[in-house]
């Protein structure tokens, strides 16, 4: 009987100890964040402790942590961090390309403006044997060919594919739309071209990726001044703050979908890497509290919000930098024009000493440019008007004075004069297009909030009209 009483006593003490430990642990949990704020809302209250002062400390009272090994946190975290950064950065770049495809308006050949541009049309080859590439498999006349030969070696688990030959050739071509032609220089472009032809011979596979004549194309790139004549624009790999240069044999929508698919795949890997990194960090602490899981769950919306913010901010920065670059290009062209003033004054004094109107225009032009390194839009308008007045008068005098027309120095000067004015005219259109896109983007919600928060200032249009001129013909005959 005494033995049974002792067992009953121990059983009761054990139950009391477990009950006391449960009360203490529950009360400890209710004092943590966020339980201390949620418990009153759900009607959960702390239970009074049943422990006496003389009771020894309970083993199950403290919530012990069980972290994973530190090396797992460091190694796994490093891999997750690298994967998250690489996936996110490369994915965001593709998203930017997708947004450019979506937002840059399509231009016809007659409405092309200096700077980032988008055109559509059919490929047209220049005449001559040096202006096309013959497709190795198709035999077609092409402006772009990528040729690849692979060979299968080994068998079973040791089987592998080796590249035997791989080369790419390109030549400039024309893109023809309903209004005319635009010259395209494909060097440096990302070519999105499907396999045109494929043959197999034994263990070897032969692939041809080509753009042939009269093929529908979508082109996203930079419109720059054609360097030979200087009177038109061409699409090439320009310096536009990382603006993509892309040539595709698919439609705009199909190209955008393909770019989007690649972007989402890369961003998904980046997102997985970042979430894994956060989970490993919490696993390293070993607490596994609800707040840890809540913080890990909030990584997804935080990542998406941050990504959206970065994309919108980068769009505004790109549009603002596009305006600044176009403005700087005009300033450089105006500096070229200012450098021609001494030569113009020399000709005016040597051949046209009596021409007071030209002298007045030159004096006004010099006063506008003298000592100036930066120009406001209003100052650019004034300089353009003064430049145009000088060119108009010089061209008129050039036609009226045969001795000027036959002078090689004067002819070269007139050629440079008109070329620089054409350069300014083309850049002026590109600048105004940049300002229009920048204003539209910075006034759109929610970008307008970012623009105000980060002090993105508005930009002004150039009001003075300026048309491209034909370079004057020079008659050097007797």
* Cα distance between residue 197 and residue 206, in whole Å: 8
Q: Domain extents for the chain?
A: 1-64, 107-259, 305-454
Cα 278–Cα 282–Cα 287 angle in degrees, nearest 5: 160
pLDDT beyond 90 at 14: no
Out of 58-72, 188-202, 371-385, 440-454, least confident range:
58-72
Confidence label for 120 from pLDDT (cuts 50, 70 and 90): very high
pLDDT beyond 50 at 474: no
Higher confidence at residue 103 or residue 251?
251
Confidence label for 133 from pLDDT (cuts 50, 70 and 90): very high
The pLDDT value given to residue 248: 95
**DSSP for 286-320, written as a single string:** T---HHHHHHHHHHHHHHHHHHHHHHHHHHHHHHH
Confidence label for 255 from pLDDT (cuts 50, 70 and 90): very high
Both tokens of 281, joined, read: 């960090």
273, 245, 307, 261: which is closest to 119 by C-alpha? 245
What is the 3 state secondary structure string of 232-276? Answer: CEEEECCCCCCCCCEEECCCHHHHHHHHHHHHHHHHHHHHHHHHH
- Mean per-residue pLDDT for 71-98? 89
Contacts of 71 (CB under 8 A, 6+ apart): none
The pLDDT value given to residue 312: 85
- The mean pLDDT value of the chain amounts to 81
The pLDDT value given to residue 185: 94
- The helix (run of H) or strand (run of E) holding residue 147 is strand 141-153
- Mean per-residue pLDDT for 17-45? 81
The pLDDT value given to residue 370: 67
- Mean per-residue pLDDT for 54-67? 62
Tens digits of residue pLDDT in 305-342: 888 888 888 888 888 887 887 888 888 777 777 777 67
Contacts of 185 (CB under 8 A, 6+ apart): 172, 234, 235, 236, 237
User: Taking a C-beta distance cutoff of 8 angstroms, is the pair 419, 230 a contact?
Assistant: yes
pLDDT beyond 70 at 250: yes
User: Taking a C-beta distance cutoff of 8 angstroms, is the pair 45, 23 a contact?
Assistant: no
Higher confidence at residue 151 or residue 459?
151
Query: Residues of the chain with pLDDT > 90: what percent?
Result: 23
The pLDDT value given to residue 403: 65
- Mean per-residue pLDDT for 398-422? 71
- Mean per-residue pLDDT for 245-251? 94
pLDDT beyond 80 at 238: no
User: For the purposes of burial, counting CB atoms within 10 Å of the CB of 129, is it exposed (0-12), middle (13-18) or buried (19 or more)?
Assistant: exposed
Query: pTM for this one?
Result: 0.69
CB atoms within 10 A of CB 388: 19
Tens digits of residue pLDDT in 2-12: 677 778 888 88
pLDDT beyond 50 at 477: no
* Cα distance between residue 347 and residue 241, in whole Å: 41
Query: Residues of the chain with pLDDT > 70: what percent?
Result: 84
* CA distances in angstroms from 307 to 270, 303, 310, 348, 426, listed in the order given: 11, 6, 5, 61, 36
The pLDDT value given to residue 4: 73
Query: In which residue are the tokens 């054609």 written?
Result: 226
The pLDDT value given to residue 285: 75
The pLDDT value given to residue 345: 67
pLDDT beyond 80 at 237: yes
DSSP percent split of the chain into helix, strand, coil, nearest 5: 55, 15, 30
Q: What are phi and psi of 320, to 5 degrees?
A: -65, -45
pLDDT beyond 50 at 257: yes
Both tokens of 80, joined, read: 């997750």
Omega within 30 of 0 (cis) for the link into 344: no
Confidence label for 476 from pLDDT (cuts 50, 70 and 90): very low
pLDDT beyond 60 at 401: yes
pLDDT beyond 90 at 346: no
User: Taking a C-beta distance cutoff of 8 angstroms, is the pair 217, 189 a contact?
Assistant: no
User: For the purposes of burial, counting CB atoms within 10 Å of the CB of 5, is it exposed (0-12), middle (13-18) or buried (19 or more)?
Assistant: exposed
* Cα distance between residue 366 and residue 361, in whole Å: 9
191, 220, 238: which is closest to 106 by C-alpha? 220
């Amino acid at each position: 009987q005494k033995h049974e009483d002792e067992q009953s006593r121990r059983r009761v003490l054990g139950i009391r100890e477990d009950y006391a430990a449960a009360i203490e642990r529950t009360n400890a949990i209710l004092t943590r964040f966020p339980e201390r704020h949620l418990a009153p809302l759900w009607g959960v209250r702390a239970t009074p402790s049943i422990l006496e002062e003389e009771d020894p400390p309970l083993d199950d009272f403290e919530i012990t942590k069980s972290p994973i090994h530190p090396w797992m946190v460091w190694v796994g975290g490093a891999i997750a961090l690298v994967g998250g950064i690489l996936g996110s950065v490369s994915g965001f770049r593709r998203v930017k390309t997708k947004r450019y495809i979506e937002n840059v308006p399509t231009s016809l050949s007659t409405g092309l403006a200096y700077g980032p541009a988008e055109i559509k049309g059919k490929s047209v080859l220049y005449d001559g044997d040096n202006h096309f590439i013959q497709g190795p498999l198709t035999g077609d006349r092409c402006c772009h060919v990528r040729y690849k030969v692979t060979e299968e070696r080994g068998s079973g688990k040791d089987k592998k594919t080796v590249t035997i030959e791989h080369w790419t050739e390109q030549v400039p071509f024309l893109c023809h739309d309903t209004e005319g032609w635009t010259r395209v220089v494909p060097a440096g472009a990302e070519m999105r071209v499907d396999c045109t032809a494929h043959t197999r011979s034994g263990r070897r596979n032969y692939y041809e990726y080509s753009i042939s004549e009269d093929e529908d194309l979508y082109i996203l790139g930079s419109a720059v001044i054609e360097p030979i004549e200087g009177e038109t624009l061409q699409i090439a790999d320009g310096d536009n703050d990382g603006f993509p240069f892309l040539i595709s044999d698919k439609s705009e929508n199909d190209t955008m979908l393909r770019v989007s698919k690649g972007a989402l795949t890369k961003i998904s890997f980046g997102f997985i890497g970042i979430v894994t990194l956060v989970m490993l960090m919490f696993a390293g602490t070993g607490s596994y509290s609800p707040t840890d899981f809540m913080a890990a769950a909030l990584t997804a919306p935080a990542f998406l919000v941050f990504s959206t913010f970065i994309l919108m901010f980068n769009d505004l920065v790109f549009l603002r930098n596009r305006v600044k670059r176009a403005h700087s290009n005009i300033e450089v062209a105006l500096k070229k024009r200012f450098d021609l003033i001494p030569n113009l004054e020399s000709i005016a004094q040597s051949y046209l000493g009596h021409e007071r109107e030209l002298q007045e225009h030159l004096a006004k032009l010099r006063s506008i440019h003298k000592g100036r390194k930066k120009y406001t839009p209003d100052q650019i308008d004034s300089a353009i008007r003064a430049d145009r007045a000088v060119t108009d008068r010089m061209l008129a005098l050039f036609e009226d004075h045969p001795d000027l027309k036959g002078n090689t120095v004067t002819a070269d000067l007139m050629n440079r004069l008109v070329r620089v004015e054409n350069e300014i005219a083309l850049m002026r259109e590109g600048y105004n297009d940049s300002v229009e896109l920048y204003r539209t983007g910075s006034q759109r919600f929610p970008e307008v909030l970012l623009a105000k928060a980060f002090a993105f200032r508005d930009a002004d249009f150039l009001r003075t009209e300026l048309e491209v001129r034909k370079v004057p013909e020079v008659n050097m005959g007797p």
